[in-house]
Structure formats: C-alpha cells, structure tokens
Structure 1
C-alpha cells in the first residue's frame, strides 16, 4: 500500500476538523512532524502509544478507528489470522476439557461399580442368609442369638480386612486409656488408667475412623 494512500486518509481527517497542514497537526497534537510522517507512511507499528493517544482527540477519531485506518493491510490480516488461530485453540481446549470431564465421570462410574461388586461379593453370604435368619428369629423368639451372629460377623470381618480396617480393641477388653483412641462414655479417667471397652473403634492404617467407647473399670 502506497504512502500516498495514508497521506490522503490523514488529510481527509484533518479537513474534517479544520486543520490545514501537517505542521499545524503537529502543533495541535504536541507531537513531532516525524511521527506524523510515520503515520503517512503506514508505519503505525513503529509509533508509540502516547503519540496515537494525542492524535486521536485532535483528529476526533477513536483510538481503535485510528489504528484500523492506518494499519497496513498485511498487518491487519496477520493479526486477524492470529486472533482466529487463538479462537480455534480456545475452542479445541474447551472440547478437550469437556471430553476429559466425560472420561473422568465414566471412569468414576466404572470404579464405583467395581467397588460395589467386590463389596457385594464379600457380603454375599450375609445378603443371602440374613433375611431368612431374621425371619426365623421373628417366628421363634427363643432362637439362640449365637446361631445368627456368625452370619453377620464373618462377612463383616472379611470386608474390613479387605479394606485394611482394624479394630482398636475387642469389646470387653481392658486397656490403658488413650484419649486419642478412646472416648469415655461416662466417668473420668487419666491417660494410662485402666478402662474397659464397651464399643470397639476402628483404624484404617494410621487414620482414625472411630474412637472406641470406654468406661472406667468398676463401672458398668
């Protein structure tokens, strides 16, 4: 694009605001004539922003319009292409993000199903036999509880072992009181004093799941 093209554009803008010469424009805007020459030559990319900010109000043209008017066509096309590439990259990233979310959700569902399946396998005997045992207990209140307990205890122990969960202490066991592992149901006790386990607690590795409920020895 010829320098004459940009010169005519600038002269048209100057005419609209009543500025007769490039020297007059230089004085009115407070910029050097060299900067005016760069604008006429289409060398907008070599001009400082503060110069453009001074010319914009004098010519009564918004800064964005001034830049668009005096930008070389190749530069404008290059910026447009770059912008289009960025927009495409953003669109691609959004698609990839949505795809990743879907994969994560699908994987979560698969893992949940696998967890449920493995847990049900461990509890199979309880699931199959407990309803019948419970019904028989209702029909016969004299049925010894000792006959029913194994139906619950064995599958539960198997499940806890698979999950790496250990009981802190057995029910009825006497042990030294540890406030980190034990919860007093009533009474008082100092750390190290003997207490009796009323309800067992559980650990999973080093993580405390439930404190064992205890009471001081001698209290029922």
Structure 2
C-alpha cells in the first residue's frame, strides 16, 4: 500500500504539473505572438521545438493518462480497503442478528470482531491519541475539551480516543475533567 500511495500519487502530481505547464505554454504563446511572428518562429525552430498542435496532443494524452491513473488509484484503494475490512464486514450482519436474538450477549465476545479495524489503522500508519479513561495533561493540539476553560497541562481524562498520523491530527481525543459515572 505504501508503494501505491508514495509512487502513484507522486506520478499523478507530476502529471498534473506537466499538464499545467503545457497548457500555460500553449496559452502564453497564443497570446504573445502575432500570426506572422508565430509562423517565423515555427519555421526557425521547427527542428528544435514541438509545434502547438504537438503540445496540445501531448496534453490530451497526459489528461487521458491522468484519468486512467485516477481510476486505477480508486480501484486499488477500494480493493485494498475492502480486503482489510472484509472480516468485519462479513461478520457485521451476523453480529446484528445475534444481538437481536440474544440482546444480553456480553460485549467481550464482540471485541474479536473489531480486530480488522486495528490492523487497518496500523497498515495505514494511524495511531490512537490516548487510551479511554487515561489521565493525561491537557494539550489543546491533541484534545477536544467538553468546555472552554481548560488550561494546558491540567490533568484530564480521555473519554474517547483520537487518531493521528506522524504528521497530522486526524481527530482529537475527546476529554473531560472527570471519568464517566459508570467507571
């Protein structure tokens, strides 16, 4: 998966840059040249520089290639994500039916069904922010408070974990000053 995103996305960005450059070049040359000057320059440089028609064709080809790469990325993303979540998705309808039939089923029996989510997060380099009911110092960058009067560094409790990558907070952990009453 890392190769797909690291390499495929880079190629897509480079292709977009190339397309933008070609379009800007074609647009600029059309605006800045008089018809007689354009013919003279094409005649003088026909061996060295591609014609506007060649650049337009190249641009169309790059656009088609970019569209194909986008479609392939979508397909690869869908297939890989489904593969990671397939055990959970397969078990979920059975779990719903089991809960209807046996509403008093202990929750610890259901935790194993959520293991694919942990694997998926790990494969994508996503980690949790905190542990439920853990006491930590308040950090406004990592935590979403239930009130406006929190002071950085004050002790708080994680109510619901957050998620982050090494470079980005995806969702801050939800916190409060007290633990839930049922703990």
After TM superposition, is the score higher than 0.5? yes
How far did residue 219 of structure 1 move? Answer: 7.2
Among 73, 87, 107, the residue aligned to 1:125 = 87
Distance in 2 of aligned mates of 1:200 and 1:80: 64
Among 178, 202, 219, the residue aligned to 2:163 = 202
- After superposition, the C-alpha distances for 1:100-147 in whole angstroms (9 at most, x for unaligned) are 011011011112211221111111210111111111111221222221
Among 124, 135, 148, the residue aligned to 2:97 = 135
State the TM-score, normalizing by the size of structure 2: 0.69
Distance in 2 of aligned mates of 1:92 and 1:108: 24
Cα root mean square deviation, aligned: 2.6
Distance in 2 of aligned mates of 1:128 and 1:170: 28
How far did residue 81 of structure 1 move? Answer: 7.5
**After TM superposition, which residue ranges in structure 1, 4 or more long, deviate above 2 angstroms?**
78-83, 186-189, 217-220
- Long gaps (5+) in structure 2: 1-38
Aligned to 1:190: 151
Kept in 2: contact 1:187–1:216 (CA 8 A) = no
Q: Which of the two has higher C-alpha Rg?
A: 1
Distance in 1 of aligned mates of 2:180 and 2:90: 40
1:1-220 map, 5 Å: 79=40, 82=43, 89-152=51-114, 154-186=115-147, 188-217=149-178
How far did residue 149 of structure 1 move? Answer: 2.6
- Long gaps (5+) in structure 1: 1-77
SS at match of 1:192: coil
State the TM-score, normalizing by the size of structure 1: 0.58
